[in-house]
Chain A
Amino acid sequence: MMSWRQIYLVLKREYITRVKSKGFLAATFLVPLGIILLYGVFIAIFLWDSEVTYEIGVKDETSQIVASLQETSPQRYLDMTELEVDSLRTLVQTGELTGYVVITEENLTENRPLELIYSGGGGLALLSSIRTDMREVFRQEQLKRAEVTEEVQQIFETRIGVESRRLTEDGKETEDDSAFLSILGVAMGIIIFGAIFGYGGYIMRGVIEEKTNRIIEVITSSVKPIELLTGKMMGVGALAITQIGIWLLTLSLIAMAAAPIATLFMSGESTAEQMAAMEAAEEELPFIFSIPSIETSVIVYFVIFFILGYLLYSSLFAAIGSAADSETDTQQLILPVMVPIFIAYGILLHAMNTPDSMLSVIGSLVPFFAPIVMISRIAMTEVPFWEIGLSIFLMIITFAGTMWLSAKIYKVGILSYGSSAGYKDLFKWIKQG
């Protein structure tokens, strides 16, 4: 028999004292600010990335290649046919050139590999882009020499595109936003992952605080341990929902403001090149500029899995807190709780690429992994309803079990001072309860 009045009083205290704390206010409002900042940086990177140029000196002995290279990228390729190899080397050594390449007739006719001599700057991205440029230019020159018709030349220019649309169960074709959905799924999984740690940690520290403050005995002379535990979990849960709610609201505001923000970046001195970069970015990551609408069901499931995941783990964190005398004491006890969270994180990363693989499906059904894995699968792919239902059912059953165990541990743990308990003691307490 629990008294809801007592639970409500505990809940109210937990919620109000935390929601007013500076830490909560800071986290709640700094995180969205951080996201906005990150978002800005994201766009900025796409816009200004191309400004860094690497200069490659080209000594073209065929004198037919360098012109086309310069057409492809005038800043990168410099015609240095007049210079001797020795002076080219010096230029690279002094850092005035990133590298140089000597093109001879043999390269063209005998397919002898080109040799790029460079300082090592620019990384793999530079190498592969030079490779692409060279192949393109060499192919064109070879085609020209072979005197093929323009028709054939155009055939070589063709790049066939692949557009994708999703066919839903009720026969409608929808825009395919797989890339966005993958990121959404992973983001949701990571939010729940973070929330389990964050709010679970809140609960654990709250329990320890009541022990170290020595107020716990005063409280238990008015409230049953199970009422205290329930009130605490509900209070911090309400806090979690408030915080996530504020974040989601901010995010949707950002989403609405995304296009104006992007144009703001462009409106400055937008050169043709920046425009091109912008377009390229939009092609690669369209959701930066227009966030596709998220299905309501995904949001509903997110809330369900968020709450269930929170409840499941926070009951365990509370039990651990009650067994410890200080936060440092928790380290040995906490490991068995951390391991499943990290396994779930691992499966989440796996599910990102293969949301329907055996491991992903099983991971999304196991209660301790489900809150992190299932929600990302729901976002990414079509998950049969029975899987979702089973997953939720199993989590509720498991939560009932962990809550029952934790309540027993908690009841004994909160009044045990002095020695920090090990798992052996916890089993004893469970039997005692």
Chain B
Amino acid sequence: MNKKTTIEVQNLSKTFGQTKAVQNVSFKVEKGRIFGLLGPNGAGKTTTIRMINYIITIDEGTILINDQPVSPKTQKLIGYMPEERGLYKKMKVGEQLMYLAQLKGLNAKDAETNIRYWLNRFKAADWHLKSVGELSKGMSQKIQFIATIVHDPDIYIFDEPFSGLDPINSELLKEIIIELRDKGKTILFSTHRMEQVEQMCDDICLFNNGKVVLTGNLRKIKKDFGKNTILLEYDGDGSFIDDLDDVRINNRSTNFAEIRLLNDQDPQAILKTAIEHAKIHKFELVEPSLNEIFISTVGEDNIKTEEAA
């Protein structure tokens, strides 16, 4: 397979005052793939994304988009939906999309065609003359999607795209992302909720504390970790789980637990213990979840989370 790199980040660093927001970060996003930028809040994802979008300047390192350094020109190749989303409330939907499309370099005629297409596609053709302030939250989220993709760029960047979306729009966005990928477009999105990524991403890059801790193909990364996680469904007293040695419990509810085996702990021994204490509905040995991979790579004590991104 001939892999073409669309976004290449090399030794990127950014410092705000005393805070080293991004330190020596490198990763590659290949054309036609969905790339996930993962990590807790405050890990440096948004800062990196802003530099890729040429919104803030680079302190050190380089970012190449289709082999060109970032510039106002590369900005036009990207459709960007920031985490902080918003639109002009008093402007009409049509005018607003026209303005944003023209800022991205489209001429009025092409912009009009694209706006019509997407409004029809989202069953919103009659919103053209409505002002954004009149729209419901869900409706304005749809307009926000259109604003991001209306100029038909090759690259799409979504920063925490699913936060604050209602379930319908969440599904819609997933659909759009997959559809764009199938058309050969490149998608990069960031999230702090790992489980979302598992379903969609081809490649990932794990961030912690301004640094990249792991990057590569998601399938391969998971495979490399091996099948060392037990999914356990049971009925009855689950307190025995707390007494297990050499394990880490990641996901737990009253009758479910995700148990990561450490130090070559034998899964059969755990099954045996479990049968003695509770009624077992399911016992499955699987690859670890991304969250588990993140924790075991970074080390539990080194995960730094900040509220302000």
Chain B residues whose CB sits within 8 angstroms of the CB of A222 once the complex forms:
75-76, 100, 103-104
Contact residues in B for A417 (Cβ distance below 8 Å): 84
Task: Write the nearest CB–CB distance from B15 to chain A, whole angstroms.
Answer: 10
Please tell me if B236 contacts chain A, counting CB pairs below 8 Å. Answer: no
Q: What is the interface of chain B, defined by CB distance below 8 A to chain A?
A: 17, 50, 53-56, 72, 75-76, 78, 80-82, 84-91, 95, 99-100, 102-104, 147-148, 308
Docked pose: A210 CA to B81 CA in angstroms: 15
Q: Report the separation of the CA atoms of residues A3 and B73 in the bound assembly, to the nearest whole angstrom.
A: 11
Min C-beta distance of B50 to chain A, whole Å: 8
- Among listed A69-77, A115-123, A213-221, interface-contacting one: A213-221
Given A9-B103, A417-B84, A428-B17, A220 and B90 touching (CB < 8 A)? Answer: no
Q: Which residue of B lies closest to A214 (CB)?
A: B86
A4 nearest CB across to chain B (Å): 12
Q: How far is the CA of A209 from the CA of B132 in the complex (A)?
A: 14
If A9-B103, A21-B90, A415-B55 touch, whether A224 touches B72 (CB-CB below 8 Å) is yes
> A221-B78, A415-B56, A418-B308 are known contacts. Are A215 and B86 too (CB-CB below 8 A)?
yes
A223 CB-CB contact with B under 8 Å: yes
Contact, CB under 8 Å: A218 / B147: yes
Asked if A166 lies at the interface with its beta carbon under 8 angstroms from chain B, I say no
Q: Are A218 and B90 in contact (CB under 8 A)?
A: no
Please state if B55 and A218 are interface contacts (CB–CB under 8 Å): no
- Asked whether A165 is an interface residue with its Cβ less than 8 Å from the other chain, the reply is no
Closest Cβ neighbor of A18 among chain B residues: B90
Q: Please, which residue of chain A has its CB at the minimum distance from the CB of B16?
A: A432
- By beta carbon, the residue of chain A nearest B79 is A221
A215 to B75 CA separation, bound complex (whole angstroms): 16
Chain B minimum-CB-distance residue to A222: B103
- Tell me whether A214 and B55 are in contact (CB under 8 A): no
- How distant is the Cα of A9 from the Cα of B50 in the complex, in angstroms? 23
- Centre residue among B17, B50, B102 by max chain A CB count within 10 A: B102
- B87 near A215 with CB under 8 A, answer yes
CB-based nearest A residue for B90 = A17
Q: Are A213 and B82 in touch, CB under 8 angstroms?
A: no
CA distance A6 to B73 in the complex (A): 12
Q: How far is the CB of A400 from chain B (nearest CB, A)?
A: 23
Q: Return chain B residues, CB-CB under 8 Å to A223.
A: 103
Is there a chain B Cβ closer than 8 Å to A131's Cβ?
Answer: no
Find chain A residues with CB under 8 A from B85 CB.
214, 218
Q: Is the CB of B91 within 8 A of A221?
A: no
CB pair B72–A218 under 8 Å, yes or no, is no
Q: Does A13 contact B (CB under 8 A)?
A: yes
| Known contacts A218-B80, A218-B82, A415-B56; is-contact A213 B89 (Cβ 8 Å) | yes
One of B86, B99, B102, B104 near A213 (C-beta < 8 A): B86
Residues of A within 8 A of B81 (CB): 218
Can you list, as one digit per residue, whether each of A251-272 has a CB less than 8 Å from chain B (1) or not (0)? 0000000000000000000000
Which residue of A is nearest B102, CB measured? A9
In the assembled complex, the CB of A83 is this many whole angstroms from the nearest CB of chain B, namely 73
Interface string of A1-36 (1 = CB under 8 A from B): 001001001100100010001000000000000000
- A209→B86 CA distance, assembly (Å): 11
CA A218 to CA B79, docked complex, whole Å: 9
B residues near A428, Cβ cutoff 8 Å: 17
| Contacting residues, chain A, for B55 (C-beta < 8 A) | 217, 220-221, 415
Task: List the A residue with the shortest CB-CB distance to B54.
Answer: A221
Chain B's nearest CB lies how many Å from the CB of A73? 61
> Roughly how many angstroms separate A213 CA and B81 CA in the complex, as a whole number?
14
Residues on B with C-beta less than 8 A from A209 are 88
Q: Nearest CB to that of A225 among chain B residues?
A: B55
Q: A13: which B residues are within 8 A, CB to CB? A: 91, 99
- Give me 19 other A-B pairs in contact (C-beta within 8 A), A9-B99, A219-B100, A222-B103 excluded: A6-B103, A9-B102, A9-B103, A10-B103, A13-B99, A17-B90, A17-B91, A210-B88, A213-B86, A214-B84, A218-B81, A218-B82, A218-B148, A221-B54, A221-B75, A415-B50, A415-B56, A417-B84, A428-B17
Could you give 21 example pairs across A and B, Cβ below 8 Å? A6-B103, A9-B99, A9-B102, A10-B103, A21-B90, A213-B88, A213-B89, A214-B82, A215-B86, A217-B84, A218-B80, A218-B87, A218-B148, A219-B103, A220-B55, A221-B78, A222-B103, A222-B104, A224-B72, A415-B50, A428-B17
